[in-house]
Structure 1
Amino acid sequence: MKTSATLFALMSGVLSASMHGAAKTEDQPAIVVSVENHDPQSNSNYAGPLDLPLQPQIYSYDIGIQVGSTLYRTSYASAFDYLPAVFATNHPIQVDLGDHVMYMTLPDDRAVRMPIASWPMA
């Protein structure tokens, strides 16, 4: 009986936590105001190209997004040299603001988590 009560309490907690996590906040309309590409930095501490350690190729972008009257600077990184078309300047998007993070859903229904680097932007 004691195990059944413990199991019931445990399952109740798991179910209530999963239901709370499934609650979605409202997306807010936003607009992309700037996009900057970051080139990988070279390491000049080595004598020649054969001495360089292998470096992972990461393509990163700083993206300015305006939500209402507030401008945010976020970052997007990818292993591929591909920036989704929704990140084009002056493109309207829908975002979900969290604590120090912004969520956006791409057209292929893939959710992207972008850290907010600075807010508000001048």
Structure 2
Amino acid sequence: MLLSRRKSEIKHLVEPVKLIGAFKSSETKEDNGYWVCYEVRNFEDVPEGMVRLFTPAQMYAVLHYEGHASKIHQVYSHLHQWIEENGYNRLREKWSLEIYSKWTENEDNVKLCDPVD
């Protein structure tokens, strides 16, 4: 919620209504956690207390989720099963994304994006 309140400080926003959650399975301390982000066209004058997070172009398996935000983690098993059944490999060391149309506990439209090759 704090990031949403401070979005006017961020330059070059692509879609100011879309928040992105980014995470990956990583052994490095710098990458561990869940990053709440906005997409920008380029990095310029990053506001104090914020950091840049660059996610390179990547192929993703995408599941459109509609439901209560607290249940999102339960549907990942469906996405992972689809990935396996269709011959893709999950890339756990790459950034996974959750693209929200708004950021609330009652979110009902999220794209779950799991990196694959």
Q: Same fold (TM over 0.5)?
A: no
Return the TM-score normalized by structure 1: 0.22
Q: Which has the higher contact order (CA 8 A, sep 6+)?
A: 2
